[in-house]
Structure 1
Amino acid sequence: MKTKLKYIDLFAGAGGLSEGFIRAGFDPIAHVEMNKDACDTLKTRTAFHYLKENNSIEVYHNYLKGIISREELWSKIPTELINSVSNTEISAETLPFLFEKIDKQVGKSQVDVVIGGPPCQAYSVAGRARDPNGMSDDPRNHLYKYYVEFLKRYNPKMFVFENVPGILSANNGGYLDLIFKAVREAGYELDKKVLNAKNFGVLQDRKRVIIIGWRKDLNLKYPNFEEKDPQYAILKDLFSDLPKLQNGEGAWGISHYTSKTTPYLEKSGIRNGIEFTTQHIARRNNDNDLEIYKIAVNQWVNEKRRLNYAHLPERLIKHNNTTSFTNRFQVVNHDGVSHTVVAHICADGHYYIHPDVKQNRSITVREAARIQSFPDDYFFEKSRTTAFKQIGNAVPVLMAEGIANKIKELI
């Protein structure tokens, strides 16, 4: 059997990028992530992959059903696999510890690829707009330096560095220049493109800067990605088999499907063989917000017109600011792809209103995960709020898989 290509995932989040690489046939050596809840999600997903490979997937399903605890689940897999997830912030102080730990995990293997994207708030246009210094003194601007240290240490054939389009304009493109300079000095050639998740079969309009690099001694290049618009729609193809809910309803545990799968759910691997999913749970909303949701949905579905907050009846306006963020209530597109899912979804659901007016609520954790193309057996640890944040920060799985397949071809 051919040896699988190996990778290290830095700033791994909940594992969207990693899941795509695993689906493309890569094998993770290590994940590094500073957020504990995201690390717990990574450990649970590591357990899933181990149990699936060893014909014991029923153990994982028992965890989803609440029959066994998380600790019992984790105890069923080798300790070194659980330990391959490092809940550590990457910094000058932690690099020696991380290198020592990952060296043991690497052993005699060759690291083929390093993947990951440093936290993007420092590069995002929204983050810079909110910060009086435009995020110029944010230490996260310099996390790329540690990424480069991993390239120097493990000498992978290629790397994938993912970030928001705002990185192109941050510091007038100065940060990008610094990244390119540091990577070239480390012995790599690289290129960047703005890729859109919807061209990879994800039902979401989500643009990301994908920097791909390769060792200078290898005759490689930036992969060629086709641009194909998805032929599917959110309501009919992505949400139709999930139980219909009102605000505040749903289950953190299992929810049974209410209809057969759809061609899109099959093709994307979102519905993947079991008869239930989890975390299909909706926020509770107050009457004022629910009235706004109804107006927003009717305007969008019937008139293809987005709600302007300033144009609401006066009795419904509760924010003093009616000149900026007037699109703070937004409906997920019912007959095409969704707008970008971001981490702010953990604060409230007003920007992600369900397009079925009869349900009159914001989207559930599972619906958000589906928009990000996570499979239905992917479980996000801890709470609804932390799950939403992990999902909003993730790289869509299908996009990651598409990138991984091209990298695999090249290597």
Structure 2
Amino acid sequence: MFPIIDLFAGPGGLNEGFSSVKNSDDSYVFKTLASFEMDSMACQTLRLRATYRELVRSGGDLRPYFEYIEGKRPWQAALLGNFKEAYRKAKAHVYQVELGEDNRPEVDAFIGAQLGPEEQRGHWALIGGPPSQAYSLAGRSRRTGDDTFASDHKHFLYREYLHILGKFKPTIFVMENVKGLLSSKNGDDSMFQTILEDLKQLDGGASYEIRSLVVDAEPHKLDPADFIIRAEDYGVPQKRHRVILLGVRSDVASIVPRRVLTKADGAVTVRAAIETMPNVRAKTSNRKPKVHQDWPAVQAAALRDIRTSKMVAKPEPAKTGPRAIGDYESWIREDCPSTTVQHEPRAHMVSDLARYRVMAELAERVGKSPKYSDLPASLHPEHQNIGKVGTPFTDRFRVQIWDAPATTVVSHISKDGHYYIHPDPEQTRSFTVREAARLQSFPDNYFFEGPRTQQFHQVGNAVPPLLSKQIGEIVASMLASLTD
């Protein structure tokens, strides 16, 4: 098995894909030696998932795991026998720490101990994605005019990744970040070009050839856009566009073949991802809207108007991929629990429930998500600037469309569900954690620890595991070429 070390691991989406790659004899290709993450709840999720993987690989009893995630057995009652032994091994490689210069000595010591003596290490891979808030378009928009933004330490956390590259010299690395990295600047300098230049002059003398996973071309002929991976092109039911760099150490690059991802035969849509899930309805919250109206009556009137209005021509639905849908369903449903876990909707204000109901039916008729301005005035949000010229975020309520991949699931889903309204008008709610996880391509037996807000946050911050698996297969073939 080839060792992997995961930096800025989050809840483990990138690791999950790599850890699922198998050889032709059904043995596993990769073994995780270390996962580094600063968030305590994400670390709990990582430990639990690593326990599950250890049980699967050792042929252990999975019943305590499933009984725990289904709420049938408390943690202490599950922590017995080979489950306890598997958890002990999982704890040994999940390391909670904030990566940064101050903590480099302890991180370096842990990596060195996990890898063993340099002369015995062989080929291995480093994976991970430095935090992206400093590069994302939304993050930059929120901090417009903030004089401290340029010096934000999050801009430079990629240097921790580069430090480990220089010190430990993995054969291959995979670095993931948001598409906004390509347009992000620190002062007058492009952050993307800065990172590429820094990769050419690593401490310790190591250097890497940077390749694209979607464009088969010599590195010097690649444009920045050639590093963007569109997840919906590879069987993920979500329009998630990310910059992913594949680095091959220069001393072996000439003998490692280039490989690129193979596109799916069509889209996996929201319908394919979540339509078969149990129907659930949201409860009402205790929060009172500022404007007091008879919301059921307002909703009923708006629905009558929609149903008597002329149909608007719908856009063509996405071309679905039968093979991609089959691969997705097999991935999601393998060894699934007996009940659907983490599928409880959050409560919403009555006013929002009325908007969700009307917007979902309108979206169903026109084939796209309406803006709040498409609603009658009685259903407009209670904001002072609503209706004024230049009102921001006119799409702050967004219905996900049945016959297309979802829009990007981001960590902000933990704050509210307005951007993730369920397309079924009868359910009248935002997505559950499990539905968001399905759009991210997490298997149904993947459990996110912590309160629901933390669960949503973890899902939104992750790399889609099904995409990661395909990247892992490419990395596996490259590493195998060095051992043939």
TM-score between the two structures when normalised by the length of structure 1: 0.91
Question: Are residue 69 (structure 1) and residue 74 (structure 2) matched?
Answer: yes
2:151 counterpart letter in structure 1: D
Cα-Cα RMSD: 2.1
Please state if 1:102 is matched with 2:138. Answer: no
**Could you tell me which residue of structure 1 aligns to residue 299 of structure 2?**
none
Determine the structure 1 residue equivalent to 2:331.
269
Q: Secondary structure at the match of 2:326?
A: helix
1:200 matched to which residue of 2?
234
Give distance in 2, aligned partners of 1:175 and 1:42: 30
Does structure 2 retain, via aligned residues, the 8 Å contact 1:233–1:334? yes
347-356 or 187-196, which moves further after superposition? Answer: 187-196
Deviates more, 1:272-281 or 1:7-16: 272-281
Structure 1, unaligned runs of 5 or more: 250-261
SS in 2 for 1:318: coil
3-state SS in 1 of match to 2:435: helix
Q: 1:160 aligned to 167, 174, 191, which one?
A: 174
Cα gap change, 1:124/1:266 in structure 2, threshold over 3 Å: closer, same or farther?
A: closer
1:31 aligns with 2:35: yes
Determine the structure 2 residue equivalent to 1:213. 247
Distance in 2 between residues matched to 1:110 and 1:67, nearest whole Å: 44
Judge conservation of contact 1:270–1:376 (CA < 8 Å) in 2: yes
Partner letter of residue 185 of structure 1? Q
Deviation, structure 1 residue 357: 0.4
Is residue 206 of structure 2 the alignment partner of residue 190 of structure 1? no
Please give the secondary structure, in 1, of the residue aligned with 2:340. Answer: strand
Q: Deviations over 1:313-360 (max 9, x none)?
A: 333321234311110111111112111100000000110011110111
Shift of residue 76, structure 1, vs aligned partner: 3.3
SS of the counterpart of 1:151?
A: helix
2:236 touches 2:441 (CA, 8 Å); kept in 1? yes
**Does structure 1 conserve the Cα–Cα contact (< 8 Å) formed by 2:283 and 2:348?**
yes
Asked whether the equivalents of residues 8 and 113 of structure 1 are also in contact (C-alpha less than 8 Å), the reply is yes
What is the CA distance between 1:396 and its match in structure 2? 0.4
Query: Structure 2: how far apart are the matches of 1:277 and 1:319?
Result: 37
Counterpart in the other structure of 1:258: none
> What do residues 192-229 of structure 1 show as CA deviations (whole Å, max 9, x unaligned)?
51011112210111100011111010123653223335
Deviation at 1:152, TM superposition (A): 1.6
Unaligned runs of at least 5 residues, structure 2: 22-28, 213-226, 285-323, 480-484
Partner of 1:294, secondary structure, is helix
Aligned with residue 368 of structure 1, among 433, 436, 439: 436
Looking at structure 1, the residues matched to 70 and 87 of structure 2 have their Cα atoms a distance apart, in angstroms, of 22
Q: Deviations over 1:221-262 (max 9, x none)?
A: 653223335344322x2223321000139xxxxxxxxxxxx9
| Cα separation, 2, equivalents of 1:398 and 1:319 | 40
Residues 111, 145 of structure 1: alpha-carbon distance in 2 compared, 3 angstrom cutoff: farther
**What is the match of residue 319 of structure 1?**
383
Q: Deviations over 1:80-107 (max 9, x none)?
A: 4312111100010111101112222222
In the alignment, residue 146 of structure 2 is paired with which amino acid?
A: N
The change in CA–CA distance for 1:93 and 1:104 in structure 2 (over 3 A counts) is same
- Alpha-carbon separation, structure 1, partners of 2:402 and 2:6: 34
Q: Secondary structure at the match of 1:86?
A: strand
Q: Does 1:339 align with 2:344?
A: no
Distance 1:394 1:266 in 2: 17
Is 1:402 matched with 2:463? no
Aligned to 1:136: 150
Cα distance, 1:162–1:321 mapped onto 2, change above 3 Å: farther
Aligned counterpart in structure 2 of residue 60 of structure 1, from 42, 59, 65: 65
Q: What is the alpha-carbon distance in structure 2 between the residues aligned to residue 162 and residue 48 of structure 1?
A: 25
Match of 1:242 among 250, 255, 277: 277
Distance 2:163 2:123 in 1: 14
Alpha-carbon distance change, 115 to 378 in structure 1, aligned in 2, over 3 angstroms: same
Deviates more, 1:238-247 or 1:335-344: 238-247
Q: Report how many aligned residue pairs link the two structures.
A: 395
Query: Whole-Å Cα distance in 2 between the matches of residues 173 and 282 of structure 1?
Result: 44
Corresponding residue for residue 147 of structure 1: 161
Percent of aligned pairs sharing the same letter: 36
- Could you tell me whether the CA contact under 8 Å between 2:369 and 2:400 is conserved in 1? no
Output the amino acid matched with 1:11: F
- Could you say which structure has the larger radius of gyration? 2
SS of the counterpart of 1:280? coil
How big is the shift at 1:133? 3.3
Aligned to 2:416: 348
Following the alignment from structure 1 to structure 2, what is the Cα–Cα distance between the partners of residues 394 and 99?
25
Secondary structure of the structure 1 residue equivalent to 2:471? helix
Aligned residue runs from structure 1 range 388-399, under 5 A: 388-399=456-467
